Amino acid sequence: MRVEHNPVICLLGCGGFIGSHLLCRLLAGGAYSVIGVDIASDRIQHLLDHPHFEFVCADVYDTAALEPLIAKSSIVISLVALCNPWLYTTRPVEVIEINYLHPLNLIRQCSAQGQWLIQFSTSEVYGKTVAAVAGLGDDASHQLLDEDTTPFVLGPLAAQRWCYAAAKQLLERTIYAWGFERNLRYTIVRPFNFIGPRMDYIPGVDGEGIPRVMACFMEALMKGQPLKLVDGGESRRVFTYIDDAVDAVCAMLAHPVQARNQVFNIGNPANEVSIAQLAQRMIDIYRRLRMLPPHHEIAITKIDGCQLYGEGYEDSDRRIPSIAKAQRLLQWQPRVGLEDALEKTMQGYIDYYTTRLEQAV
């Protein structure tokens, strides 16, 4: 990396789904120099020689390796997370350690040295809707989730699904406390189901276990298997295209005073669907992208959540973000509608996995 007068951003998890898209944009803008840390660089090969980029192949949990890199930076963006629900019921200790314990050193160092910490959290901190817990049904579950007023509603201990939400919630509370008492400068981002090319993995090709729903459905479509609807596919999600998400982070960087010590929901409330509707939309788009005849059969099946993920699986029934704060303070507005977001994401999977799947057989 050339010595520059640009602000230096330390991007932890630069080789992941969000990291690779964000890195691309940060470098394209020319306003920042980036030190990126990850163990994998497959998704960012095309950026490795960029003059404003230094890639450090290191474990993002290796405090000794990170400390000098953070010391050279003025902004730290931490994307590090184990954020796949299958892990919450199978490897909860690791989920809590990686999502809560490991980032603590980062908080201490940023607080001591004055770096602005942009920490990715999750929309899952909101848990279930109050309406679902109170048995009020769908009518009352549509309230927008507000960063500063909505309570967090999680399940009991044995419902290990919530270990991730609880870990991230405690991380947020710790960051808030350090901001309050020790002058930490921070911004917390709560993503609402970002999707796009390079998201997750296909089991047996470049990962194992059960990825998130987009990759599960793409795996099924591309292998000619039925799409599985967990507990009937009644849960609802807001899917947000990655370019809109990257715009939001850039808007934070462009509005440092307004973003200071704030929590932002980043999601597209106009893109809400039930998972059953998502399956049907994806089948229709897949038929179109692959030019399959209408009679080409693609099946949908139902599966119990605990059967797929293991005991302790529960679900978020619904989460629609209020984005009023990000609109007001950051002038951010998501632009990509659901159809477009799904089509671009699915085309990305088709381009990347068609040959790889053939080779894996």
Nearer of residues 85 and 179 to ligand UGA, judged by Cβ: 85
Residues binding ligand UGA: what is the number (CB under 6 A)?
Answer: 22
Q: Which is nearer to ligand UGA, 73 or 122 (CB)?
A: 122
**Residue 38 Cβ, how far from ligand UGA at the closest point, in Å?**
19
Tell me whether residue 186 or residue 217 sits nearer to ligand UGA (CB atom): 217
If one asks whether residue 213 binds ligand UGA (CB under 6 A), the answer comes out as yes
For residues 317 and 343, which CB has a smaller minimum distance to ligand UGA in the complex?
317
**Least CB distance from residue 181 to ligand UGA, whole Å?**
27
Burial class, 167, CB count within 10 angstroms (exposed 0-12 / middle 13-18 / buried 19+) = buried
The yes or no reply on residue 73 touching ligand UGA (CB under 6 A) is no
| Binder of ligand UGA out of 50, 237, 281, 325 (CB under 6 A) | 237
Is residue 164 part of the annotated active site? The answer reads: yes
Task: Return the beta strands (E) in 6-132 as ranges.
Answer: 8-12, 33-38, 53-57, 75-78, 116-120
CA–CA distances in Å: residue 168 to residues 10, 121, 161, 355: 21, 6, 13, 37
Three-state DSSP class for 40?
coil
| Identified catalytic residue from 88, 100, 164, 286 | 164
Characterize the bridge pairing of strands 236-238 and 272-274.
antiparallel
Which of residues 47, 83, 320, 346 is near ligand UGA by CB under 6 A?
83
The contact pattern for ligand UGA, residues 189-208, with x = CB under 6 A and - = no contact, is: --x-xx--------------
Task: Verify binding: residue 124, ligand UGA, rule CB under 6 A.
Answer: yes
Sole window of 5-13, 105-113, 170-178, 222-230 interacting with ligand UGA (rule: CB under 6 A): 222-230
273's enclosing H/E stretch is: strand 272-274
Q: Is 235 in the site for ligand UGA (CB under 6 A)?
A: yes
Residue 91 DSSP class? -
Stretch that binds ligand UGA, among 99-107, 176-184, 223-231, 247-255 (CB under 6 A): 223-231
Write down the least CB distance from residue 73 to ligand UGA, Å: 26
Minimum CB separation of residue 24 from ligand UGA in Å reads 20
Greatest alpha-carbon span in the chain: 64
Strand 262-266 and strand 272-274: the pairing is unpaired
Distance of alpha carbon 26 from alpha carbon 22, whole angstroms: 6
- Judged by beta carbon, residue 37 or residue 230, the one nearer ligand UGA is 230
Tell the residue number behind the tokens 């679900």, with chain if given. Answer: 315
46-53: which pairs have CB atoms within 8 A and are 24 or more residues apart?
Answer: 47/23, 51/1, 51/2, 52/1, 52/2, 52/4, 52/6, 52/27, 53/1, 53/23, 53/27
**Which residues 292-331 are close enough to bind ligand UGA by CB under 6 A?**
305, 315-316
The reply to whether 13 sits near ligand UGA by the rule CB under 6 A is no
CB 28 within 8 A of CB 53: no
Residue from the set 126, 162, 164, 332 that interacts with ligand UGA by CB under 6 A: 164
Q: Concatenate the DSSP letters of all residues of 131-167 into one string.
A: HHHTT--GGGTTPPB-TTTPPPB---TT-GGGHHHHH
Contacts of 135 (CB under 8 A, 6+ apart): none
Question: At its nearest, how many Å lie between ligand UGA and the CB of residue 302?
Answer: 9
Interface with ligand UGA, residue 127, by CB under 6 A = no
Active site residues: 164
Residue numbers at the binding site for ligand UGA (CB under 6 A): 83, 85, 122-124, 164, 191, 193-194, 212-213, 216, 228-230, 233, 235, 237, 275, 305, 315-316
